[in-house]
């Protein structure tokens, strides 16, 4: 398993295929498995790097001193340095898009394409932030995501009409239920607090290169509704697409649409 030691901790990543580099950055509470359909398709033409957030998947604990999404962006840039990657197309979903956009703003010469999915670069609305923080407090106190909280948290990530007995829904629920107390308290909850207390960088979106940027959003995304994607696309001046029949984890709810959109974007970027 490939790991990079960054800020004293082991960051896990997948590295498959050859060609121009695509960096896949995923959602809070998910691991690289959320990109499985895209990795399989993209790795036939591209070198695909998919990374686990700290405390997620096989990555180590959140490094001491990590306090913001800017720190995450710096750490992921260190991963590109570790892999001797000069340029990559970055595809970031949810928190992956939040730190991914910050990386693109801080080091534009390293990002030759940017796809922001089911994400938002504004601050979290205060009522939502307080609600999520109350959930974090309950998890921190008990050291687990209880069945009652699973009934609240798991549906957030999917379209409202999903079959709750489906393999996708039940596998995610089981993964969250098995998270150990130490990992929750040391990494997962602090990572959530970093995510939902993020600074507003909407006023910086005009600095992104519209010709190199695409926005995607599940048409039934609940935590990051399409209106947010439309707002950001207007600020950037770039195109956006809504993913049909998909919620927050659009890469798994409508993988065919997402994969096709990514392949079309990558082909356009690399055929010039």
Sole residue written with tokens 């509704």: 225
Is residue 134 one of the residues assigned to a domain? no
Give every CB contact of residue 145 below 8 A, 6+ residues apart in sequence: 139, 153, 176, 177, 179, 184
Tell me what pLDDT residue 262 has. Answer: 98
Distance between CA atoms of residues 117 and 240, nearest Å: 10
What pLDDT does residue 61 have?
98
Residue 235 lies in a domain: yes
The Cα–Cα gap between 117 and 63 comes to: 26
Looking at residue 270, its pLDDT comes to: 85
In a domain, 73, yes or no: yes
Q: Which residues pair with 16 in a beta bridge?
A: 48
Count up the domains in the chain and report the number: 1
Specify the CATH number for the domain of residue 62: 3.40.50.1820
Instruction: Report the chain's terminal Cα–Cα distance, integer Å.
Output: 35
Q: Is residue 249 part of a domain?
A: yes
Q: For residue 21, give every residue at least 6 positions away whose Cβ sits within 8 Å of its Cβ, in sequence order, or none.
A: 46, 47, 48, 49, 85, 87, 88, 89
Full residue range of the structural domain in which residue 239 is found: 3-123+200-270
Residue 162 lies in a domain: no
pLDDT of residue 128: 96
DSSP annotation of 135 reads: H
pLDDT in tens, 81-101: 999 999 999 999 999 999 999
Max CA separation in the chain (angstroms): 54
Q: Does residue 14 lie in a domain region?
A: yes
What residue ranges of the chain have pLDDT lower than 70?
1, 272
Task: Quote the pLDDT of residue 272.
Answer: 60
* pLDDT tens for each residue of 9-38: 999 999 999 999 999 999 999 999 999 999
Q: Round to whole Å and give the CA distance between 44 and 51.
A: 19
């Amino acid at each position: 398993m490939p790991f990079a030691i960054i800020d004293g901790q082991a960051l896990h990543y997948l590295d498959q295929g050859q060609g121009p580099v695509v960096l896949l950055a995923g959602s809070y509470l998910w691991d690289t498995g959320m990109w499985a359909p895209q990795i399989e398709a993209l790795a036939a033409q591209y070198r695909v790097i998919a990374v686990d957030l700290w405390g997620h998947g096989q990555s180590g604990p959140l490094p001491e001193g990590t306090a913001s999404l800017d720190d995450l962006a710096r750490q992921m840039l260190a991963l590109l340095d570790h892999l001797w990657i000069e340029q990559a197309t970055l595809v970031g979903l949810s928190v992956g898009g939040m730190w991914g956009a910050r990386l693109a703003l801080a080091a534009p010469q390293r990002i030759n394409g940017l796809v922001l999915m089911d994400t938002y670069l504004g601050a979290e609305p205060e009522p939502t932030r307080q609600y999520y923080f109350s959930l974090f407090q309950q998890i921190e106190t008990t050291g687990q995501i209880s069945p009652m909280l699973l009934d609240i948290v798991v549906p957030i990530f999917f379209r409202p009409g999903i079959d709750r007995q489906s393999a996708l829904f039940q596998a995610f629920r089981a993964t969250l239920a098995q998270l150990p107390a130490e990992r929750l308290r040391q990494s997962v909850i602090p990572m959530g607090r970093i995510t939902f207390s993020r600074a507003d960088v909407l006023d910086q979106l005009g600095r992104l290169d519209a010709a190199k940027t695409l926005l995607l959003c599940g048409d039934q995304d609940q935590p990051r509704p399409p209106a947010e994607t439309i707002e950001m696309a207007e600020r950037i001046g770039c195109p956006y697409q809504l993913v049909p029949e998909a919620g927050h984890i659009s890469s798994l709810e409508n993988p065919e649409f997402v994969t096709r959109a990514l392949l079309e974007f990558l082909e356009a970027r690399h055929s010039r």
